[in-house]
Amino acid sequence: MKFFNGLGGFSPDGMEYIISVNSKLRTPAPWSNVIANPNFGTVVSESGQSYTWAENAHEYRLTPWNNDPVCDLGGEVFYIRDEESGKFWSTTLLPRPGNNSYTVRHGMGYSVFEYLEDGIKSEMWVYVDIDSAVKFTVLKIRNISGRPRKLSVTGYTEWVMGDMRPKNAMHIFSELDAITGALIAKNPYNTEFPGRVTFFDVDERKRSFTTDRAEFIGRNQSLQNPDAMSKVKLSGKLGAGFDPCAAIQIPFELDEAEEKEIVFRLGTGDDMHEALNLLKQFKGLEKANHSLSHVRNFWKNTLEAMQVETPDDATNIIANSWITYQTLSSRLWGRSGYYQSGGAFGFRDQLQDVLSLLHAQPELAREQILLAASRQFKEGDVQHWWHPPTGRGVRTRCSDDFLWLPYVTIRYIRQTGDKQILDEMISYLEGRHLNQEEESYYDLPLQSMQKSTLYDHCVRALNNGFRYGEHGLPLMGSGDWNDGMDQVGIHGRGESVWLGFFTYDILMNFIELAEGHQDPDFAVQCKAEADRLKVNIEKNAWDGEWYRRAYFDDGTPLGSHTNDECQIDSLSQSWSVISGVAEKGRALTAMNSAYKRLVNKKDNIICLLDPAFDKSVTNPGYIKGYVAGVRENGGQYSHAAIWMIIAFTKLGDSERAWELSKMINPINHGRTPEEIAIYKVEPYVMAGDVYAVSPHQGHGGWTWYTGSAGWMNQLITDHFFGLRKEADKLHFVPCVPAEWGSFKIHYRYRSSTYHISFTQDPGVGEMLVKENDSILADKKITLVDDGQSHLVDIVLFRG
């Protein structure tokens, strides 16, 4: 295994993370996998504990979500029992471990649990169909004990069928479908998801079952030692009025060296008709294997859109598989992780996520842009987040949400060349305005009869942002990108320096879009607003050694050397460079200050701000409620740390960019037992934050459900390798370390593949680009869809 840390490591190809655990040797925190399709998914940890949802991971959970990293509780369990001795164990480490070690393999779209107890070898595959609302648990059991065995397998699930089990359990009733033999559950009192029918089924006809959880577990018992496992068979209880579950037990016999495969299916349909169709469609081992094949082919095809070969294995592994998988499975489709069962779409969140999928799945970016535009109010503001399928969500005074629509639209069109998206017609939302002293409200807005093009939606968003304070900077509202600074401008006068940089960046890039869309007047307005912003930023935001972060409602600066806390914030420094506002002298000074004040080399973390909020009289908002040095309050917030590295690539500082890239790569926090004892969380996916406070320095925080995965992908692809795709043209502006003598990128364009080899030459000269031995004068590769392989050689001179 690569990067083995005493508990786990990567398979040779980096596509699986393999973990070995037993009752005495546990991971320091749950190491999970998020397995999803666009409307259905499950989270499963290395202990085997999991929860499953459909449509919305918060609002319609089929089984319970338990955010408990200590106990790692769950509501889905599978047991094996020796029918002769009565001994039983779970097929996963929890809830009833056997005497030996379990091997767990988390892969792209599946997890596998391998175990051997008393001569019975089990291999349990967990995955969901790539399209349908069906979860498979395929259990392969082989007898290597040297004698015939009588065994049984019991599958158990606790029903939720809503958001919280205590709210919904009393309304759930169960029945047995006479044709398929599946256990059916319904919750007629769930008005958000009316008519849904959930099922738990197994192919074996010889079985017993119960749907009474209290009966299965027993009085004063637990899933570690449920009462049902001491009984010959399950009772067959069905109906309503008791604590609901679905448990199925299958007895069978195995000769020596004989193997048996048992397929459990957990799923849901919009109604009984759809549920029965799913049961019929996916019945049988062949259908289960076919579904797994589709899952593996989907992820293979998605990830092969771009593969890299560099001298650094940690970069190769994270770039070639895990961060794209994390972004698509957890962030865009699942909208869930072990630590957050979110379910909702965040307006700015998923828009940023899809930027990292532009090379692999550009159509998903298109869909998300149009979906986000449909959550815009007529006034130009948007829902901060909303719950599908109804669209119930929050309207806020957040000042940056709506601007991500034009930002992402610009990036999408530039890369794909799809200008037709601007003419797509999309409705607006209608809802009451926020009251004067109101920060937000949660409601179900109406869909307006008014429609306009995506272009008009973007213009309306920009116009809504042309609101400035006394320093000529954009108003902060109830928070900008940093939601935790929700009190800085709550009275309508506070200003955001970061938002000034961000707005400038969008305006300067929207000019070309407006001109191309035959809207010269708005192009002129964008240029005028951008010029005014640049002047005001340079006049009122420079603090002497760095840029300030904001101004409070009363005009007090934030992110200034005059502050006791939060004297410097990374966002303003990074975006002063990314946006192009700062002239080179100030840009270098600001970034040097950020590097000096915010990069903690001892603990390998990049802090968001310094010093953390703690005891000062100023109240920036709920950010101050976090312990100093945790999350946004002075810890590493990985999203912002990546922006800092992007800024260094913009400055051409490859050595610092590489130094900091290695620092935030999660693989580099879990290569040894000593490193993982500090970092604790999964070393194969991005963590949204890393603690900077004693004694927890270097402890990873919230994993999986973080936008930092998508931005890490963009950092590596678009900035580190400098890959620029503009419609059918591909060129490179790399910022890689001098120590890399050579590296490769394999890039797929439709049916064609481009094998691009880079060599660094210490000589002086311009970049040299050759395709099939022909020198390209403009240094741009013209992408063609011809089903062929193309060889490209690029020489980078480092004079």
State how far the Cα of 544 lies from the Cα of 547, in Å rounded to an integer.
8
Q: What is the CA radius of gyration of the chain?
A: 28
Nearest 5°: phi and psi at 567?
-75, -30
pLDDT score recorded for residue 442: 97
Query: What DSSP string describes 215-230?
Result: HHH-TT--TTS-GGGG
pLDDT score recorded for residue 437: 87
pLDDT score recorded for residue 68: 76
Nearest one of 168, 151, 134, 143 to 65, comparing CA atoms? 168
If the chain, 799 residues long, is cut into consecutive pieces of 10 residues, what is the mean pLDDT of each piece? 95 97 96 98 97 98 88 87 98 97 98 98 98 98 98 98 95 95 96 96 95 96 96 96 96 98 98 97 97 98 97 98 98 96 97 97 98 98 97 97 98 98 98 93 96 98 98 97 96 97 98 97 98 98 98 98 98 98 98 98 96 93 95 96 98 97 98 97 98 96 97 97 96 93 96 96 85 92 96 87
pLDDT score recorded for residue 763: 78
State how far the Cα of 8 lies from the Cα of 29, in Å rounded to an integer.
13
State how far the Cα of 514 lies from the Cα of 160, in Å rounded to an integer.
50
pLDDT score recorded for residue 74: 82
> Is the separation of the CB atoms in 340 and 347 below 8 Å?
no
- Residue 607 DSSP one-character state: -
Burial class (CB in 10 A: 0-12, 13-18, 19+), 677: middle
- Residue 420 DSSP one-character state: G
Q: Is the dihedral of CA 313, 314, 317, 320 positive or negative?
A: negative
pLDDT score recorded for residue 765: 77
pLDDT score recorded for residue 585: 97
Q: Is the pTM of this model over 0.95?
A: yes
**C-alpha distances in Å from residue 310, one per residue of 526, 712, 715:** 41, 16, 15
